[in-house]
Structure 1
Amino acid sequence: MQITGKVFVVTGGGNGIGREVVLGLLRQGSRVAAVDVSQEGLDETARLAAAGERLTCHRVDLTDRAAVEALRDEVLGAHGHVDGLLNVAGIIQPFVRVNDLPYEAVEKVMAVNFWGVVHTVKTFLPALLERPEAALVNVSSMGALAPVPGQAAYGASKAAVKLLTEALYAELRGTPVAVTVVFPGAIATNIAANSGAMPPGMDASSASSRAAAAKTTSAHDAAAHIIRGMAKGAYRVTIGKDARGLDRLSRLAPRRATELIADKMRSLLG
């Protein structure tokens, strides 16, 4: 898919990978409608982009179906049409076992990560199907490939995104819409702080230090992988050695993958 001159809707555009996707698309000459629940985050994205009318910012709660449906008219009014939808927005859950996880936390994660994607897909897919070529990109997670203790609801939500996206690929074969599912590994973002789900005994500064010391992929590099994958019409994009390794291990030895991650997570869960 040609990026230059196209119009893209990007959720999660106010921070992390989503912001970097917005900036990357703008650098390649596209127009972007950035969507986020944080107006402050969107304002900072707009400041960094300095892209004038090529960028519009939309504060929307993706769990609110009516608000997402209203977004369609806003975007079409500003840009005329939509060539691509990139669902990057997502949150994690508190680092606790399912037995200790409140129903409200499960519902919130599913509402943002899964239903948010459903809302945007249902809203924008008719417009994508009208274009001569279009793209639909949904960001799942390495956590959808194998279970992570302390992130069971998050993993379930991202596994739902995985299967939904793969089904959309099957349904949309032969149409102008190319469908891509993305599996990031550990990415250096503030997702834990933004989700209100910092691990026990860790604050934002110590989390940043740990991320810097770990073998994480930068949000900038992750966004570049996503944009390249979309441009190629890739079926899958797996980001980072950790995600690629887990992808292989989870298929070859799923029980071993489960036990390996459980051993690594033991110290966080106590």
Structure 2
Amino acid sequence: MKADHKNIIVTGGGNGVGRQLILELLIRGAAVIAVDKNQVALNETILISGNNSRLYTHAVDISNREEVAAFTAEAVSKYKNIDGLINCAGIIQPFINLDELDLAAIDRVMNVNFYGTLYMTKSFLPYLKKRPEAHLVNISSMGGFLPVPGQGIYGASKAAVKAMTEALHSELANTTVKVTVVFPGGVATDIKVNSDIKGSKSVTEDKRAKKMMSPEQAAKQIIQAMEKNRFQVFIGKDCRIMNVLYRLRPESAMKLIRKVMASNSH
């Protein structure tokens, strides 16, 4: 589905890849309905866009079913047609093992990453199905297919997004709605800071961020995948390599990621 002259909702629009998706969609001629829990962050996105008249913002907690339902009713009433939904909002967990992670942190990650994506998808799907063409894009993660030590719950939430989205691809095969699932590798965003991880450095302070893909590059690849109606897209060299290795030799891939994580902790 081409973005031009489409109404597309993007969650996580206050920062990182979500913000860059909005800017890329605006460049391509879409009207964008940006969603984020933080209205101040959304206001920053508006300023960065040059106060683009095709950008609309809504402060919504996607992990709250009632807020999602209210937003859906408001969006359909205000914008009439909803042609696309990109579920990008997500957080990570503290970098600790499962037995050390408290249940509140587990609930928070699952509620935002999986249930938030589920609520938005289920709420807007009936309206996407009414359009002559429409597209659903759900952002999973490299952690959704490759177990990462210290991020087991985050990975579980993204694996759930993967499985749900791939099932939707089959369920919607005979409709006008196309479905894409995205697996980003390392992207230089402030997801650690925005997830309230103690001791986290911003991308401007973290030297490792220079080796990662930029949010701008990731956003362009995601929108290109949508416009080409791709089913799966693996973002970043690290993700593409680990996808192949995990398919061929899963235990070797897991050993490698353990070594990488161990070296990054020092």
Question: What's the TM-score bracket when you normalise by the shorter of the two chains?
Answer: over 0.9
Q: CA deviation at 1:76?
A: 2.0
Aligned with 2:206: secondary structure? helix
Q: 1:233 to 1:208 in 2, by over 3 A?
A: same
Structure 2 residue 70 is matched with structure 1 residue 74: no
Q: 1:25-50, CA deviations, whole angstroms, 9 ceiling, x for partnerless residues?
A: 01111101000011111001111113
Q: Which runs of 5+ in 2 are unaligned?
A: none
Q: CA deviation at 1:269?
A: 5.8
Q: CA deviation at 1:97?
A: 0.8
Question: What is residue 142 of structure 1 aligned with on the other side?
Answer: 142
Structure 2 residue 217 is matched with structure 1 residue 210: no
Q: 1:127-157, CA deviations, whole angstroms, 9 ceiling, x for partnerless residues?
A: 0000000000000001112110010100010
Structure 2 residue 259 is matched with structure 1 residue 263: yes
**Aligned positions of 1:8-27 closer than 5 A:** 8-27=8-27
Q: CA RMSD in A?
A: 1.5
Q: CA deviation at 1:259?
A: 1.1
Partner Cα distance (1:98, 1:133) in 2: 42
Structure 2 residue 228 is matched with structure 1 residue 227: no
Aligned with 1:204: secondary structure? coil
One-letter code aligned to 2:248: L
What is the TM-score of this pair, normalised by structure 1?
Answer: 0.95
Q: CA deviation at 1:208?
A: 3.0
One-letter code aligned to 1:30: A
One-letter code aligned to 2:201: D
Aligned with 1:62: secondary structure? coil
**CA contact under 8 A between 1:13 and 1:19: conserved in structure 2?**
yes
Q: CA deviation at 1:17?
A: 0.2
Q: CA deviation at 1:99?
A: 1.2
Partner Cα distance (1:55, 1:36) in 2: 13
Aligned with 2:255: secondary structure? helix
Question: What is residue 83 of structure 2 aligned with on the other side?
Answer: 83
Partner Cα distance (1:13, 1:220) in 2: 13
Structure 2 residue 166 is matched with structure 1 residue 170: no
Q: 1:4-30, CA deviations, whole angstroms, 9 ceiling, x for partnerless residues?
A: 100000000110000000111011111
Instruction: State how many pairs are aligned.
Output: 266
Q: 1:214-249, CA deviations, whole angstroms, 9 ceiling, x for partnerless residues?
A: x21100010000100000110001110000001101
**Aligned positions of 1:23-34 closer than 5 A:** 23-34=23-34
Q: 1:53 to 1:75 in 2, by over 3 A?
A: farther
2:246 to 216, 235, 250: 250
Partner Cα distance (1:255, 1:88) in 2: 29
Partner Cα distance (2:40, 2:154) in 1: 25
Aligned with 2:136: secondary structure? strand
Partner Cα distance (2:49, 2:205) in 1: 27
Q: CA deviation at 1:51?
A: 4.7
Partner Cα distance (2:145, 2:55) in 1: 34
